[in-house]
Structure 1
Amino acid sequence: MNLGNTCERCGHGATSSNLQQPEVKSSPVHDLLHNNLPPRTIGELKAARQTLSEIQQDLDGVDETISHIRTALQRLLTKRAVLQDYADAHQGVLSYMRRIPTEILSEIFIHTLPAFPFELSAKDAPLLLERVCQRWKDVVRSTSLLWSYIQLDIGHGEDSRTITRIATCLSRSREHSLTIAVNGRNLEHQDLKSRFSVLRLLTHQCSRWQTVHLKLPLWAIRKYIIVGSSLLRLHTLHLDITSDVEEDDSTKPLDCFSSAPKLKTLALTSTDLSDIVTNGSMIIPWANLTSLAIDERKAGEIWGMLQNCPNLEHFGAYISYDAPHGCSAVPPMKLAHLHSLSLKIPLTSTILSTLTLPAVQSLSFTLIDDVEPDGFDWDPSVTWVTHSGLDVLISQSQCTILKLSFPEGRMQTVFEPEDVTGCLKAMPSLIELEAPSTLAESVVRSLAHHSHCANPLVPKLRKLVLRVTRAEFPWVLLGELLELRRAASSPIELLQIFKLEVDEEIFSEGRLDLFSDTIHRLQDEGLGVEISRVY
């Protein structure tokens, strides 16, 4: 066979141009190959045998060559695999991940932590990260913040394992400030007594406490949260306390958090404990607080606490109905530094007129219809902004409201478009508005109706957030409103962000198709749109 310049043993020199059909020497009995006739003479018979012998020799030679080539190919494949591994190793040396500075890698690792509270798990950071490679392990072990989050569920797990886990975190966090969470709200005395050694690990490090979440009975806090030194770093305190009236003396001072000069944020959840917070038994540096959140309390109790918190910047509370006297039951309250106010109040409440908030910019109201005073009769001619005293609050505060939100809650149908209009007229500088499903339609109708007026509502509105759960929602009107708010020739500022939350039924039934063309066009023109489902 002739393969041109190609080596028959290794195939060297083979190209796409010379890989042609090989030449085969013509047989003396070639004409007999394509029929069934036998050799005609003894000479033809001998010629056929001779040719077959020669061809067999050629086949043996080709098989030997193929064997050599296969051996050579296997050697080349093995060599290629070794070279590829070596190249990959060198590529790793040049990779961006290899060259990331340690401090940046450490910061990335911090952002991979689960939401607190969490327990150490081999499936999550930081334990998961240190199993990747030696460098990552070194970075994880040297990043104190990764080990500064400690959760303790009293009554769950073995003591020895819990002690080891907490001791590991305390050791690897070094002197970094700690965020801790202790959950033992429903424990009996004997349960907590058996876990005292675990709690003691944490209380011995109280000088490092920065953020503390405690869900414990009052007696447990008094007995086991023993602070041996000042809480010099404590910034945020969340207390979820229960009280056993047979064993707890609510008049006895609770002073374990009194030495916390940097305490700024306090959140109280203790619906079973109405006295210790309001009777002055709980001793903390109230005047230093800038953020306060309180669970359900009567207005008089909350206002009494506010008198001790002159520097609040953020305040949230659930104010229950407490008296038929309304705002006359509490004294006027001025909070000169308050920036945001979030209240859950009865729809019938008139308490807002007692507040003076010259610096407030953000308001959030969850209106509930749980109780109506005896003889209460809602005057339909009086809008909610007037009845609640919100208009008085804004007027006497001389404040500029930039954000108004009504989180999802139980709201009566008495809150009509006129009530929405009243609120928005009182806040001409509003730039962000959020409405729940019970208010969304009224908001759309009110804004759309006044968009054609010489003085449209909230002309500076840049962000609108709506939640819709009614299939009969005026989708076409919503599309028209968005177009009006994006019109360049309009006297109002352009709406920048529109967020819509809908339930699964609306999403699956294709209700959004009624204004999808408008949404897509406005997106192309620059409107930021986010549509999500709620379940």
Structure 2
Amino acid sequence: MDCELCKFSITGLNTTDKKFHNGSEADSSVYTFTMAESPTPWLLTSNEPPSPDERSLILETLRKTQNKIHALFQRIEERNTPDHPFSRIDRDTWTQLEVLEDFLRRHRAILSPLRSFPSELLAEIFILSIPVRPVDIDIFYDDRYYYSRKAYGFAQTCRYWRNIAQSTPQIWTKIPTVLVDYTLLKPNISPGPRLSLIKLFLERSKPAPIHVRITSSYYNRYDDNNNQFDRCPFEGNLSLVLSQSHRWKSADIQCVSVRRLTMHGKIQVPILEHLHIKTRYPYREVFAGLPSLTHFEGEGETDKCLFVPEVQARWSSLERFTGYRKMLGAFAGAADSLKQCEVQYPFYPRTRMGVNDNQPPIRFTRLTSLTVRGPIGNTEFRCIEAPLLQRLSIAGRNPRYEYAVETGPISNLLSKTLPGSSLRSLKFYMHRMDAQDLRRLLEATPLLEVLHLWDTPSSHFWPLAYDKNIFMPLVPRLQTLTIRQFKGHDLEPFNAVYHSRRAPPLECDARPNAVIESNIMINLTYKSWSETHGSCYLLLRRATPPIDILCLDSERSEVALVRAWCTYLVRQFLDPVQKAKKAGMSFARKKRERFARLHSNWARVDKLFVLLEGHPFPEFEPMGTLGWGVTRLANVMKLIYELPAEDVQEDAIYNFRLRAWRLHKRWSSLMTDVQAVPKWRLTDDYKTLRLGGFGVGLAV
């Protein structure tokens, strides 16, 4: 509504009332313009850049607006009295001031540097803000509300951005997921909105390559012979996407039958580079050819369809393969181009591979990464020669080391696959590897930097430590050593490896090629937290009978007392379910009820604080025990003094929070000294002990 006196538009106010101007027409002289008198009203609802003439007009308007705001403040100050400041300023005056400031802010935004960006730069920003990976296999979302909303956001902001978005096909290349047969399980789903959305994206993405995903709601319920196919309401969505197959750059096909995919004949995909397909039906006749395929990920009857001679001959550009393998010879067509290979099933023995002993192994000249998943015993590495292999990972669902040295996987690896190896990373998951085989494997990989093993005793790692009697230890460039499912209590070999590489002796410098890296990190992952706790600190186990926390019994270790003190404080002040982990504590779910805060004996808690305030913690031995005790107690005290006052009962009497703050401050210097000493650290999951690197969690 516009004011009849000053023609100023303020929504929600009765501008015809004289009180709007405090009963004086002179007040209207302060406001001589309205929002409708903006020099560039069309720029207030758009993000277009202003022209030089419009920019000059806006600057002049901003200057006048600032003068009017200054004049309004002067009139406000004139009405104030020393005894009652701002007493004569009513709500309408403040509203007028806010409207002027909003007018100033909105016109300043027109001069923002973002508006001066050229349309080409804005288009690149839009493209980068919507990342499109070739095949989003790990993302399961309904992109009707995710991707389309992000793309629509640029087209619905203003007319200027809408024109840029519509003229940039790369924003619309990720076609919404094509649903097939979803009404068989969810009858309420309508294909209409989905079809309109797909048409819109296909139209706006022309002529750029597109990324498609086709998925079905069922996998094993129906087959190609069922009568549900004729009444599928989503057939139009699939037909629409199949008609644009010549633009497919990546495709993700999940559980879709061959009959639906070939309803219009074989799919022509001349520029398809990334393909992820999962089906239990044979689909050798789905694609007319794969001339540009570089990345393939398959699940299902892969070997019966794609690995046939006429298809292999066209795989000269294949760089990455992931899927099920049964015949190693199928890789021969991609031996000169394959860079990464992940096999989910093992190779068959040589007798079933069609490769005899006299035939030379397949030489993969560019293969740098090889992953084999499955039972290790049937893996035949004597048929693989990879001179540039840098990353090797061997893992199985139930690996067992039950093979002789002459026929084991390590012998097969060393015979052909890893001679003169350039291997940098090795993940070898086998239970209880023999010390001799481990040494042979490490001797063949002198450039190794990352080593992951499975359930290997600590005594096997003495050769990795530097010794004056040997010229050079094994794998001198090793930076990360990880052992999963570790068992045992002997950590001395790992300490020797870490300290010898952390501070190499001076004799090493005078020897050529005898440089030992000093940034090694050792990770020991246990099966459970209890094994981690018991393996590293046998003294920290629960003492039986229970310890009296207020009595220093000489027969009890001080470490056990510290653990009892921490448990008691957590039980009295903290929530063991959520806050105890921050202090380095962990309780089993079935034992949480025993830590419930009921009727606490706060006088006993006060006695414990008196005991802690007078206990000589620096006299703890050994140094590792000192670090554990001080750090854990300090974490508990920090959580106590950070609690709100209402959550600490009897705090007004005993000053628990203030005393906790003093104890934490007193122990800070000790914690600094302890953290400066290299020691094992416990990660946040309480299952991994870490030595070296940047430890996360509790220093133990």
Identify the TM-score tier after normalising by the shorter chain.
0.5 to 0.7
Pairing 1:458–2:475 present:
yes
Assess if the C-alpha contact under 8 Å between 1:485 and 1:492 holds in 2: yes
Report whether the alignment pairs 1:422 with 2:440. Answer: yes
CA distance, structure 1, for counterparts of residue 192 and residue 106 of structure 2: 42
Matched, 1:105 2:122: no
1:144 alignment partner in structure 2: 169
Tell me the residue number matched to 1:264: 294
Q: Which residue of 2 aligns with 1:236?
A: 274
Matched, 1:309 2:334: yes
Q: Is the 8 A contact 1:347 1:368 kept in 2?
A: no
Equivalent residue, structure 2, for 1:84:
101
**Which residue of structure 2 aligns with residue 214 of structure 1?**
253
CA contact (8 A) 2:290 2:314 kept: yes
Instruction: Give 1:103's aligned amino acid.
Output: A
CA deviation profile, 1:184-230 (whole Å, cap 9, x unmatched): 262544444423322111111111101111124553366336346x4
CA distance 1:460–1:378, change in 2 (3 Å) = same
> Is 1:404 paired with 2:435?
no
1:338 Cα deviation (Å)?
1.7
Equivalent residue, structure 2, for 1:57: none
- Checking the alignment, whether the CA contact within 8 Å between 1:447 and 1:481 is kept in structure 2 is yes
For residues 71-93 of structure 1, the C-alpha deviation after alignment (integer angstroms, 9 at most, x for no partner) is: 43545533432243234335544
SS in 1 for 2:212: strand
Q: Could you tell me how far apart the structure 2 residues matched to 1:427 and 1:313 are?
A: 20
Q: Which residue of 2 aligns with 1:59?
A: none
Q: TM-score, normalization: structure 1?
A: 0.67
8 Å CA contact retained: 1:258, 1:285: no
Q: Encode CA deviations 1:431-479: one digit per residue, 9 max, x unaligned.
A: 3x1526x34x6589627743445312222234x2636566867677656
Q: Does 1:320 align with 2:359?
A: no
Counterparts in 2 of 1:168 and 1:444: CA distance versus 1, 3 Å: farther
Give 1:189-208 correspondences, 5 Å limit: 189=224, 190-193=227-230, 194=232, 195-208=234-247
Q: 1:353 to 1:469 in 2, by over 3 A?
A: closer
SS of the residue 1:174 aligns to: coil
Gaps of 5+ in 2: 1-74, 183-188, 509-514, 534-580, 587-623, 629-673, 682-691
Deviations, residues 348-393 of structure 1 (Å, cap 9, x unaligned) = 2351122112232221211454799xxxx634x6695633x11112
CA distances 1:281-328 after superposition (whole Å, capped 9, x unpaired): 867722332222222x43xx2x12112223222222134364486989
Q: Please state whether the residue corresponding to 2:277 is helix, strand or coil.
A: strand
- Tell me, in whole angstroms, the C-alpha distance in 2 between the residues paired with 1:141 and 1:444: 66
Please say if residues 106 and 139 of structure 1, whose CA atoms lie closer than 8 Å, have aligned partners that are also in contact. no
Secondary structure of the 1:72 match is: coil
1:62 alignment counterpart: none
Q: Which residue in the other structure is 1:224 paired with?
A: 263
- 2:321 partner letter: L
Deviations 1:141-189 (A, max 9, x none): 4443332223223122322122112112112222121111111262544
2:416 aligned partner: 393
Q: For residue 393 of structure 1, give the secondary structure of its aligned residue in structure 2.
A: helix
Do the aligned partners of residues 84 and 236 (structure 1) sit closer, same or farther apart at CA in structure 2, a change above 3 Å counting? same
Specify the SS of the correspondent of 2:293. coil
Counterpart position of 1:44 = none
TM-aligned CA distance change 1:504 to 1:386, over 3 Å? closer
CA contact (8 A) 1:255 1:284 kept: no
The residue type equivalent to 2:298 in the other structure is L
Q: Which structure is larger by alpha-carbon Rg, 1 or 2?
A: 1
CA deviations on 1:95-150 (whole Å, 9 max, x unpaired) are 56556641342144223998656443445552563487326555544443332223
1:238 aligned counterpart, secondary structure: strand
Counterpart-to-counterpart distance in 1, 2:131 and 2:526? 30
SS of structure 2 residue aligned to 1:80? helix
Q: Measure the CA separation in 2 of the matches of 1:79 and 1:110.
A: 42
Q: Deviations over 1:267-290 (max 9, x none)?
A: 22115x653345558677223322
Contact 2:294 2:317 in 1 (8 A): yes
| CA deviation map 1:42-88 (0-9, x unaligned) | xxxxxxxxxxxxxxxxxxxxxxxx6x953435455334322432343
Q: Indicate whether 1:355 and 2:377 are aligned.
A: no
Give the 3-state SS of the residue equivalent to 1:435 in structure 2.
strand
- Separation (CA, whole Å) in 1 of partners of 2:339 and 2:169: 31
8 A contact 1:129–1:136 mirrored in 2: no
The answer as to 2:366 corresponding to 1:337 is: yes
Q: Secondary structure at the match of 2:344?
A: strand
Paired residues, what number? 443
Q: Could you tell me whether the CA contact under 8 Å between 2:312 and 2:334 is conserved in 1?
A: no
Amino acid at match of 2:103: Y
- The alignment status of 1:529 with 2:529, answered yes or no, reads no
- Structure 1 unaligned residues grouped into runs of 5+: 1-8, 23-65, 244-249
Whether 1:286 and 2:315 are equivalent positions in the alignment is: yes
The residue number in structure 2 matching 1:246 is none
Note if contact 2:422-2:445 (Cα within 8 Å) is conserved in structure 1. yes
Please give the secondary structure, in 1, of the residue aligned with 2:333. Answer: coil
> Hey, what does 2:640 align to over in structure 1?
none
- Residue pair 2:312, 2:330 contacting (<8 A) in 1 also: no
Is 1:346 aligned to residue 368 of structure 2? no
Output the amino acid matched with 1:257: F
**SS class of match (1:346):** coil
The aligned counterpart of 1:182 is 214
Partner of 1:365: 394
Length-normalised TM-score, structure 2: 0.53
Cα pair distance change 1:516/1:472, threshold 3 Å: farther
Q: Tell me the equivalent position of 1:133.
A: 157
Partner of 1:33: none
Structure 1 residues 175-184 or 97-106, which shifts more? 97-106
CA distance in 1, matches of 2:208, 2:694: 41
1:473-524 deviation per Cα after TM superposition (whole angstroms, max 9, x unaligned): 76776566445444476621343778887888469566997696556999xx
Identical-residue share of aligned pairs (%):
15
Structure 2 residue aligned with 1:4: none
Displacement of 1:428 in angstroms is: 0.5
Structure-1 separation of matches of 2:585 and 2:277: 45
8 Å contact from structure 1 (residues 344, 367) kept in 2: yes
- In the TM superposition, what whole-angstrom CA distance separates every residue of 1:238-274 from its partner, at most 9, and x where no partner exists? 221213xxxxxx6xx8344343321122222115x65
Q: Secondary structure at the match of 1:276?
A: coil
> Is the deviation greater in 89-98 or in 199-208?
89-98
C-alpha distance in structure 2 between counterparts of 1:487 and 1:92, whole Å: 60
Counterparts of residues 57-68 of structure 1 (less than 5 Å): none
Q: Does 1:171 align with 2:209?
A: no
